[in-house]
Amino acid sequence: MHDFDRIVERRNTNSVKWDGLDQLYGREDLLPLWVADMDFPVAPAITEALKKRLEHGVYGYSLISNRYYEAVIKWMEKRHNWSIQKEWIVFTPGVVPALSYAVKAFTKPGDKVILQSPVYHPFYSSITDNGRHVVTNPLIYRDGKYYMDYEDLEKKIDSKTRLLFLCSPHNPVGRVWKEEELRKLGEICIKNDIIVVSDEIHFDIVFKGHKHTVFANVSEEIKENSIICTAPSKTFNIAGLQVSNIIIPNRRLRERFIIELEKDHILSPNIFGQEALIAAYEQSEDWLEQLIDYIEGNKDYFMDFVKENLPQLDVIDSEGTFLLWVDCSRLNMDSEELKDFFINKCRLALNQGDMFGEEGKLFYRFNIGCPRKIMEEALMRIKEGVESL
pLDDT digits (tens, 9 = 90+) for 342-379: 999 999 999 999 999 999 999 999 999 999 999 999 99
Same domain, 172 and 235: yes
Distances (CA, A) of 273 to 63, 224, 232, 269, 310: 12, 29, 10, 6, 42
Q: Is the pLDDT of residue 267 over 90?
A: no
Same domain, 146 and 241: yes
Same domain, 39 and 99: no
- Residue pLDDT, tens place only, 3-31: 999 999 999 999 999 999 999 999 999 99
Cβ atoms of 218 and 182 within 8 Å: the answer is yes
Same domain, 376 and 277: no
Is there a domain that residue 36 lies in? Answer: yes
Q: Is the pLDDT of residue 46 over 90?
A: yes
Question: What pLDDT is stored for residue 12 in this prediction?
Answer: 97
Q: pTM value?
A: 0.97
Domain harbouring 352, CATH code: 3.90.1150.10
Same domain, 267 and 292: no
Distance between CA atoms of 46 and 235, rounded to whole angstroms? 12
Same domain, 268 and 294: no
- Residue pLDDT, tens place only, 119-136: 999 999 999 999 999 999
SS3 state of residue 271: helix
| DSSP-assigned letter for residue 175 | -
Q: Is the pLDDT of residue 104 over 90?
A: yes
Residues in Cβ contact with 176 at an 8 Å cutoff, skipping those fewer than 6 apart: 168, 169, 170, 206, 207, 210, 211, 212, 319, 320
Same domain, 310 and 194: no
Question: What pLDDT is stored for residue 246 in this prediction?
Answer: 98
Same domain, 149 and 118: yes
| DSSP-assigned letter for residue 265 | T
Same domain, 187 and 89: yes
Is there a domain that residue 67 lies in? Answer: yes
Across the range 64-73, mean pLDDT stands at 98
Residue 382's domain comprises 21-43+286-387
Number of domains in the chain: 2
- Residue pLDDT, tens place only, 187-204: 999 999 999 999 999 999
Distance between CA atoms of 10 and 198, rounded to whole angstroms? 32
Is there a domain that residue 318 lies in? Answer: yes
Question: What pLDDT is stored for residue 355 in this prediction?
Answer: 98
Same domain, 179 and 206: yes
Domain harbouring 159, CATH code: 3.40.640.10
pLDDT band at residue 291, thresholds of 50, 70 and 90? very high
Task: Tell me the average pLDDT of the chain.
Answer: 97
Is there a domain that residue 1 lies in? Answer: no
Same domain, 329 and 270: no
